[in-house]
Amino acid sequence: MIVYNNKNNILSEIKEKNFKLEKDIQKIFESNLKSVMRLEVVKSEFSIKNKRIDTLAFDREAKAFVIIEYKRDKSHSVVDQGISYLNLMLEHKADFLIEYNEGMKDILKRDEIDWSQSKVCFVSSSFTENQRTATNFKDLAIELWEIKQFENGLVLIDSVKKSPSAPSIKQISANNQSLEKLTNEIKVYTEEDLLERGTEESRYLYEQFKNAILNLDADIDLQPKKEYMAFKKGKNIVDMTILRKGIKLWINLKKGILDDPKKIMEDVSGKGHWGNGDYQAIVDSDKDLEYIMSLIKQAL
């Protein structure tokens, strides 16, 4: 990628600056983890059982721990290291829980953590084609994130997307005990998992709304969660799940902000609910699709 500065319609290239140390990448991420990955830092340089984790983080949306490792050396297998860290977490859950409770403002109980949503994220200025291919399984709880810095303080961060046709890790896990154990305990949810809950009619309605939401902005990203599909542009914009007789969606705005003249959205700020935001609606037809899109635009 070539990045330019535009001054009076004259483009001048902004040169990339290599990171000298992994620590430099770590400082940027830990200082901005909430805005970049929607995670909270639990501990920097967390040591457990003779292993050192660069950043231990917590995902409040998934209610799960996330291990983050920073890389400059591209020669090592991220899959082997990722599997090792995931197994470490599952074998020593109490240590991770204690670290959270000693370092964070609130207290977590064991049953408040969804260990099945644990994952490992690797961050590097670039990854090899072998590393990308090795992690390209739709249900492998390992993510790759690329970061590049340029002159003038410009920083680009992006997650490496898995291909739409990515296979299941279960196809090869039978020959690997560590991997087989992970596939039994950790679940990476896909869109197909949520679609199985619906009927032909509700799946069709879901597709109508999904396509309409994605058409609102080219930068909207779709991320499967345990109970819903999250539509994100940096932050969650709207979350949607499929029902037997329709869909349910939540707009990520606080109570009192949404302009909803038709009063389609219900205020659920005082109720327990899935999804993000204080506005919820159950939809059983597409008759209000355009109007609902106008509401979702307010969260962009």
- Checking if the pLDDT of 79 tops 70, the result is yes
**For 271-298, how does the pLDDT look when each residue is reduced to its tens digit (9 = 90+)?**
777 888 899 999 999 999 999 999 999 9
pTM confidence score: 0.85
Confidence of residue 241 (pLDDT cuts 50, 70, 90): very high
* pLDDT score at 82: 92
Residues 6+ apart with CB under 8 A from 291: 262, 264
Above pLDDT 90, what percent of the chain?
72
- Contact between 41 and 15 under an 8 Å Cβ cutoff? The reply is no
3-state DSSP call for residue 202?
A: helix
- Checking if the pLDDT of 204 tops 90, the result is yes
**Which of 73-77, 136-140, 265-269 is least confident?**
73-77
- Checking if the pLDDT of 208 tops 90, the result is yes
* pLDDT score at 75: 64
**For 164-191, how does the pLDDT look when each residue is reduced to its tens digit (9 = 90+)?**
888 888 777 766 777 777 888 898 888 9
Least Cα distance to 277 among 297, 245, 249 occurs for 249
3-state DSSP call for residue 143?
A: strand
What is the distance, to the nearest Å, from the Cα of residue 178 to the centroid of all Cα atoms in its chain? 24
Phi, psi at 152, each rounded to 5°:
65, 20
**In order of start, what are the domains of the chain with their CATH numbers?**
3-185 (no CATH), 191-297 (3.90.1150)
The Cα–Cα gap between 56 and 69 comes to: 9
3-state DSSP call for residue 198?
A: coil
- Contact between 283 and 239 under an 8 Å Cβ cutoff? The reply is no
Q: At what angle do helices 177-185 and 78-91 cross, to 10 degrees?
A: 60
- Checking if the pLDDT of 69 tops 80, the result is yes
* pLDDT score at 167: 87
CA angle 97, 44, 160 (to 5 degrees): 95
